[in-house]
Amino acid sequence: MPSQRKSIIPDDFLWGGAVTSFQTEGAWNEGGKGLSIVDARPIPKGHSDWKVAVDFYHRYKEDIALFKELGFTAYRTSIAWTRIFPDGEGEPNEAGLAFYDAVFDELRANGIEPVITLYHFDLPLALAKTYNGFASRKVVDLFERYARTIFERYRGKVNYWLTFNEQNLVLEQPHLWGAICPEDEDPEAFAYRVCHNVFIAHAKAVKALREIAPEAKIGGMVTYLTTYPATCRPEDALANVQAKELFIDFFFDVFARGAYPRYVTNRLEKKGICLPLEAGDEELLRSQTVDFLSFSYYQSQIVRHQEQDERIIKGLEPNPYLPKTKWGWAIDPIGLRIALKDVYARYEMPIFITENGIGLEEELNEDGTVEDDERIDYLRRHIEQMKMAMEEGVEVIGYLMWGATDLLSSQGEMRKRYGVIFVNRDDENLRDLKRYKKKSFYWFQRVIRTNGEEL
């Protein structure tokens, strides 16, 4: 008999889902938790606040049982800094530490590897008010203390860590790190100051993990936006290169090579922007490179040359050749393959896809089902392209779909559903929060069971 072809996906590949603490946990004022900048965020009309979310805090055992049934071997979530240090400072909160002990123990008891993000846009509100968030080196030091507390507590329970979620958003959105530009400061100089402080915080966390739990792995993460030149004009091609350098390559270069690339330092010198370097910063970055590179991937855009554009990352536009979701995000599975091939060719490091998914409007059928064929098609096509990249030599260590259960979107929308498990609530009515398996649940279960062979 002819031998069966061995799967391109290794047996220890990590299949699972990804969420954040603030989009799932709820229990906003329980267990000693303090307020974060997310809790203070204005709620758009018709959206939800974060007080209950999908109540993972009280239902984690039920949800993890569903994840085991799905076949998950990995589950990514974040730790809420405010559950550990309610005001960002002071003494650790034992109730918060014990909650994550229980979650990680439950995951491991069900054969699921925790993949944990230290920071996912939820700075303690007190640190934003007192220090202007990561604009201050004081907050960098407090982040290091938080990271060390976490690593010491969960050594042996968590083997995969991410420092910051989508760290490349810091240049355009420093407010996600609790930092607001003062009126008397140049916004671009301020953005690079916050960016540098976040790099230092990242490196301090990497150093702490090396000292406390050297057997664990840690990665740097960006949101990967694959970009194409708007036309074949050389000006658009060059603009595309420059946009990618600032939005993607800059961050991976520091994560993987430990230094600011010349295309960034030359740009800053030309603009007269001085980085807030302190003694030891350059050596810290150089010595604390990561074990793997990670990214979220949802869409692609095009880049057009722009002479006048106030954004740091200039010229981004929607791609007119691609279908879009209801929220205007281009659906581009080939863009994922391009991203994987580019990153691996540049760094030859393991890559972990830690977010990929599609938001859809869905309601429960009378028989308790959800026919989400559009999600199945989206995930299938992206996993197919991931496999093609792996066949071409790219080392991918895991694929985490965004969601698992439905969760509030980053803007507080419940109608924008991502999960393969329906949660019975909407934006304004909590209903009963009961969980139901969507059609995609059974599809993804088969994908994992066959290690990606049956799509």
Residue 88: both structure tokens together: 């960002």
Active site residue 363: no
Count Cβ atoms within 10 A of the Cβ of residue 326 and give its class: 0-12 exposed, 13-18 middle, 19 or more buried.
exposed
Among candidate residues 85, 74, 160, the one with its CA nearest the CA of residue 122:
85
Cβ contact 146:100 at 8 Å: no
Q: Within 10 A of 237 (CB to CB), how many other CB atoms are there?
A: 16
Tokens 């391009």 correspond to 338
Element (H, E) at 310: none
Other CB atoms within 10 Å distance of the CB of residue 33: 23
Structure tokens at 335: 């863009």
**Distance of alpha carbon 176 from alpha carbon 123, whole angstroms:** 8
Among residues 216, 291, 282, the alpha carbon closest in space to that of 255 is found at 291
CB of 308 closer than 8 Å to CB of 314: no
Instruction: Answer whether 236's CB lies under 8 Å from 317's CB.
Output: no
Q: Which of 336, 360, 374 is nearest to 409 (CA)?
A: 360
Contact 195, 151 (CB under 8 A): no
Question: What single letter denotes the amino acid at residue 320?
Answer: P
| Largest pairwise CA distance in the chain | 76
What is the number of H-type helices and E-type strands within the chain? 14, 11
Active-site hit among 355, 366, 374, 453: 355
The residues carrying an active-site annotation are: 355
